[in-house]
């Protein structure tokens, strides 16, 4: 049983893919291409790692878990991406909250099915949470990116 219908999940998916589009444009701007949102070039990594991947991976995990509380992770990541587009420092707070919820949801998945692949999912969620926590603490992106990679 899923806690939300596919229609209710759609806005999270749309915002996640908007973050993907913005992240691609930011990446092209880093390459020197004249594109819209060129001012966001330095945010290419956070847009992709936390905005896009954070939203869609945590949405997949929430659907798989089927618990309403787990949907807080993709909602927070999606709105974090929106805040990031406006270069709001509050984006890192929402991404950190999202990653902690994803970590909790993944821990539940791991408890239900102890296997190497679920342990790998758990390690990835933990790494994303550490990276976002470092960002929230004010660390520079070069110190954060290895945790996101």
pTM recorded for the entire structure: 0.93
pLDDT of residue 72: 97
Which residue's entry shows tokens 């930011």?
Answer: 26
Tokens of 99: 């990653």
pLDDT of residue 2: 64
Which residue's entry shows tokens 């759609």?
Answer: 10
φ, ψ of residue 140 to 5 degrees: the values are -75, 155
What are the domain boundaries of the chain? 6-148
- Cα distance between residue 8 and residue 13, in whole Å: 10
Q: What is the pLDDT of residues 27-78, one digit of tens each?
A: 999 999 999 877 889 999 999 999 999 999 999 999 999 999 999 999 999 9
pLDDT of residue 1: 55
Q: Rounded to whole angstroms, what are the CA distances from 91 to 2, 78, 138, 144?
A: 28, 10, 12, 15
Query: What whole-number percentage of the chain has pLDDT above 70?
Result: 99
């Amino acid at each position: 049983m899923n806690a939300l219908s596919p229609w209710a999940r759609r806005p999270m998916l749309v915002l996640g893919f908007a973050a993907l589009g913005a992240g691609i444009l930011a990446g092209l701007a880093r390459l020197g291409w004249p594109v819209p949102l060129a001012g966001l070039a330095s945010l290419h990594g956070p847009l992709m790692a936390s905005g896009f991947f954070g939203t869609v991976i945590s949405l997949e995990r929430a659907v798989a878990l089927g618990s309403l509380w787990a949907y807080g992770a993709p909602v927070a990541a999606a709105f974090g991406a929106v805040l990031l587009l406006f270069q709001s420092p509050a984006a890192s707070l929402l991404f950190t909250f999202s990653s902690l919820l994803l970590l909790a949801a993944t821990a539940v998945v791991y408890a239900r099915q102890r296997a190497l692949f679920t342990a790998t999912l758990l390690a990835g969620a933990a790494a994303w949470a550490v990276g976002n926590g470092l960002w929230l603490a004010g660390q520079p992106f070069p110190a954060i990116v290895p945790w996101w990679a």
